[in-house]
Amino acid sequence: MFLVGVSYQFSVACFERIDLRNWLFAIMEVECFSTITLIKKTIHFILIHHKSMYICSMYSKELVKGTLLTIILKLLNDNDRMYGYQITQKVKELSEDKILIKEGSLYPALHKLKSEGLVSVETEHIGKRVRHYYRLTEMGKQTKEEKEAELLDFIETINKVITS
């Protein structure tokens, strides 16, 4: 495992612990990418992940992970019922591509919500495919209100702390 940092021309820094077997390197001499010392050789690079399964965004994973359940509850409340891919696309749309939720994060969160009795699952057969629709239960609606209020209060508190 290597700790890799990429600084883009737009002053966005991304740090990610990666397993090199899952990444492809396109080595390029491009000014807008930072350099990295790898095996005592400095190269310019672009990292291309060929099969990402986790939360991917311009925000840190920790920030998004801490809000994922609230995001899902809010979307299900606003849209009655949704299937997994539909949830990921709606988050992508609403966040203007800043939050991309992958299957490896979404489905464990949905299973957790189901096991806690916050969502119910309806199964529909569409041709040869099975689609699982998720819907908030009454307890899920109450929990959504609590989690949303908690998140908004937290955001307000963080704003006070960083702007004072």
Q: Mind listing the pLDDT tens digit for each residue in 12-38?
A: 333 344 444 343 333 333 333 333 433
Note every long-range contact of 75-79, with CB atoms under 8 Å and residues 24 or more positions apart, other chains counting.
Answer: 76/119, 76/134, 76/135, 76/136, 76/140, 76/144, 77/136, 77/140, 77/141, 77/144
Q: Mind listing the pLDDT tens digit for each residue in 98-148?
A: 999 999 999 999 999 999 999 999 999 999 999 999 999 999 999 999 999
CA angle 150, 154, 156 (to 5 degrees): 120
Q: Identify whether the C-beta of residue 71 lies closer than 8 Å to the C-beta of residue 45.
A: no
Instruction: Quote the pLDDT of residue 23.
Output: 39
Instruction: Quote the pLDDT of residue 24.
Output: 38
Assigned token pair, 105: 């994060």
The DSSP call for residue 54 is S
Assigned token pair, 24: 């492809």
Instruction: Quote the pLDDT of residue 89.
Output: 97
* Least confident window among 4-8, 93-97, 144-148: 4-8
* pLDDT: which is higher, 5 or 94: 94
Q: Mind listing the pLDDT tens digit for each residue in 60-91?
A: 788 888 899 999 999 999 999 999 999 999 99
* Residue keyed to tokens 């991304």: 14
pLDDT level of residue 57 (50, 70, 90 thresholds): low
- Write down all domains in the chain, each with its CATH number in brackets: 2-49 (no CATH), 56-163 (1.10.10.10)
